[in-house]
Amino acid sequence: MNKAIFLDRDGVINRERGFTYRLEDFEILPGLIEALREFRKRGFHLIVVSNQSGIAKGLYTQADVEVLHAFLNETLKKEGIAFDEIYYCVHHPDISRCICRKPDSLFIEKALARFSIDPALSFFIGDKKRDVDAAHKAGVMGILIAANTPLSELMHILK
């Protein structure tokens, strides 16, 4: 079985600014690349699970999100790093019901099955309680951090 680091996007990968959907507002956090490189070195799959409710609210489009993810992937590719997958929920409970929006765990469970991941060997790093709740529902260890904390500060606890 494999192991994975699941990551929330806003506040963990990029600076939390509220609804981040414009490229000029998308700032990759310091230390991210080094931390991802170390996670890979330790044998972890890298999977993003993000709520993007601004799509359901009509604040931005799925195409806007895809532009940010393409930029992120291209930036990481230049560093020899890649995410195994980026899952994002386009729903908001006031507008549409789903089971993919955190704190539900559909995307985590999907990744566990797709990549043969052992949840007991895996972690979910998020800056909101809903991230940790989703992790726990899937049997993954949740790690709650303050928004915009460099991932490099977690290296000592992730084996």
* pLDDT (average), residues 93-121: 94
Phi, psi of 45 (to 5 degrees): -70, 150
Residue 14: predicted pLDDT:
97
Burial category of 44 from C-beta neighbours within 10 Å (exposed 0-12, middle 13-18, buried 19 and up): buried
The pair of three-digit structure tokens given for residue 109, joined into one six-digit string: 């469970």
The alpha carbon torsion through 100, 102, 103, 108 (nearest 10 deg) reads 70
Contact call for residues 23 and 66 (beta carbons, < 8 A): no
Residue 22: predicted pLDDT:
94
Contact call for residues 50 and 9 (beta carbons, < 8 A): yes
pTM to 2 decimal places: 0.95
Active site positions, annotated: 8, 10
Q: How far apart are CA 25 and CA 20, in angstroms?
A: 6
Domain boundaries, the chain: 3-154
Residue 74: predicted pLDDT:
97
Residue 53: predicted pLDDT:
93
Residue 92: predicted pLDDT:
87
Instruction: Tokens 């409710």: give the residue.
Output: 53
Contact call for residues 48 and 85 (beta carbons, < 8 A): yes
How do residues 120-151 score in pLDDT, each as one tens digit? 999 999 999 999 999 999 999 999 999 999 99
How do residues 16-58 score in pLDDT, each as one tens digit? 998 999 999 999 999 999 999 999 999 999 999 999 999 999 9
> 3-154 domain in CATH 3.40.50.1000?
yes
* pLDDT (average), residues 91-100: 87
Residue 128: predicted pLDDT:
97
Q: Which residues of 23-37 are buried (b: 16+ CB within 10 A; e: fewer)?
A: eeebeebebbbebbe
